[in-house]
């Protein structure tokens, strides 16, 4: 009976709330909605797939020796947007804004220039390669397809066009973005490496929480190994199989007391990892110390080795 009364009170309260809101001016309702809307988070793994393009670049035609442009690609708006500032040696200037549209599961890019050009393209990222397509209205609605992919620490951007609805494609441009050599960018300094490793490890933990095997596959080295405090070992294929099975559901998967140390092309990150969820329906809630080792490769930093402790005792718990 008490439960029914409580439900009745909730229902009446909700109905009265809707009635009061319906009497408010539309402008007030709009303000209320804006103030109570949850803040979007761009920290999850899906938003971080295009981060390989961020940096300070000299741009070359593939095979060329003379830069054709300078480009700076920055993460802005709390890391939700990639802004490209392109300064061509021929006076052609432009900026692009690239964002992951989570509700649709696509990447969107808008490109504008000092010549009044506008191009909007969209697509997805798979196996670390971004493929975005759209129509170029300056060329009678011709299809445009751009591809970005990391290559030995650089980024290659290739574009093709089609005037027959995609039956055939013709080359448009083929560019290589190379890290500036005239000055050391922050990403190439120890401080920049620390920031990158911290972000990459956060991205990996978010991927584990979401059972995002695709992102995990991109970060983990092929010969990755994990050793736990109980002596168990796991390979890359073991972790990917677990993620794809969906057997483990996480309510929480994050860390604290994070420390990053970098020695040249090797980095070690230590932290306390808090995990809470269910494994095959059985609940777990535990803390462990972990140590993750990353190595800089031709295709970027990769997670090569992990080591975790036994479960840590919590305040108020009994330990042997």
- Taking only the tens place, the pLDDT of each residue in 172-211 is 999 999 988 654 444 556 677 888 888 888 888 888 988 9
Q: Where in the chain is the domain with CATH 2.40.128.20?
A: 45-179
Average pLDDT over residues 289-307: 88
Residue range(s) occupied by CATH 3.10.450.50 in the chain: 189-308
pLDDT greater at residue 66 or residue 189? 66
pLDDT digits (tens, 9 = 90+) for 262-277: 998 899 999 998 899 9
Whether domain 189-308 has CATH 3.10.450.50: yes
Per-residue pLDDT, 236: 95
| Nearest-angstrom CA–CA distance, 285 and 199 | 24
Higher pLDDT pick, 12 / 281: 281
Bridge partners (DSSP) of residue 156 are 149, 176
- Summary mean pLDDT of the chain: 83
- CA-closest candidate to residue 273, choices 190, 184, 208: 208
Stretch 209-233: mean pLDDT, rounded?
91
Q: For 105, how many CA atoms within 13 A lie in the half-sphere containing its CB? A: 1
Q: What is the pLDDT of residue 297?
A: 79
pLDDT in tens, 29-47: 343 333 333 344 787 888 9
**Can you tell me the mean pLDDT for 77-82?**
90
**Are 200 and 38 within 8 A, CB to CB?**
no
User: Residue 205 has what pLDDT?
Assistant: 85
SS3 breakdown of the chain: % helix, strand, coil, rounded to 5?
A: 25, 50, 25
What does the pLDDT read at residue 257? 85
Cβ-based neighbour number of residue 15 at 10 Å: 10
Average pLDDT of the residues in 1-10: 40
Share of the chain above pLDDT 70, in %: 82
Options 3.20.20.210, 1.10.730.10, 2.40.128.20, 3.40.50.10680; CATH for 45-179 is 2.40.128.20
Res. 316 pLDDT band, cuts 50 70 90: low
| pLDDT given at position 63 | 87
Cβ(206)–Cβ(43) below 8 Å: yes
């Amino acid at each position: 009976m008490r439960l029914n009364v409580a439900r009745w009170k909730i229902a009446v309260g909700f109905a009265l709330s809707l009635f009061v809101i319906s009497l408010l001016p539309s402008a007030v309702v709009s303000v209320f909605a804006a103030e109570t809307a949850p803040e979007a988070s761009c920290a999850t793994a899906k938003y971080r797939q295009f981060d390989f393009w961020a940096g300070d670049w000299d741009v070359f035609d593939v095979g060329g020796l003379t830069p054709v442009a300078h480009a700076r690609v920055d993460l802005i708006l709390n890391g939700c947007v990639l802004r490209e500032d392109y300064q061509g040696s021929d006076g052609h200037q432009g900026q692009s804004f690239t964002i992951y549209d989570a509700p649709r599961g696509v990447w969107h890019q808008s490109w504008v220039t000092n010549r009044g050009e506008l191009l909007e393209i969209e697509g997805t990222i798979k196996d670390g390669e971004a493929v975005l397509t759209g129509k170029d209205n300056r060329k009678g609605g011709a299809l445009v397809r751009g591809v970005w992919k990391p290559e030995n620490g650089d980024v290659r951007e290739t574009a093709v066009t089609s005037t027959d609805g995609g039956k055939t494609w013709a080359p448009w441009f083929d560019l290589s973005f190379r890290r500036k050599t005239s000055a050391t960018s922050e990403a190439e300094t120890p401080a920049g490496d620390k920031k990158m490793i911290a972000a990459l490890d956060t991205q990996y933990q978010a991927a584990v929480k979401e059972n995002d095997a695709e992102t995990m596959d991109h970060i983990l080295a092929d010969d990755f190994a994990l050793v736990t405090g109980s002596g168990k070992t796991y390979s890359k294929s073991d972790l990917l199989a677990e993620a794809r099975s969906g057997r483990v559901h996480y309510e929480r998967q994050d860390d604290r007391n994070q420390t990053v140390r970098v020695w040249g092309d090797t980095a070690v990150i230590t932290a306390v990892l808090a995990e809470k969820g269910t494994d095959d329906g059985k609940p777990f809630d535990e803390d462990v110390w972990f140590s993750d080792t990353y190595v800089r490769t031709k295709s970027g930093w990769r997670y090569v080795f992990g080591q975790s402790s036994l479960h840590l005792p919590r305040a108020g718990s009994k330990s042997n």
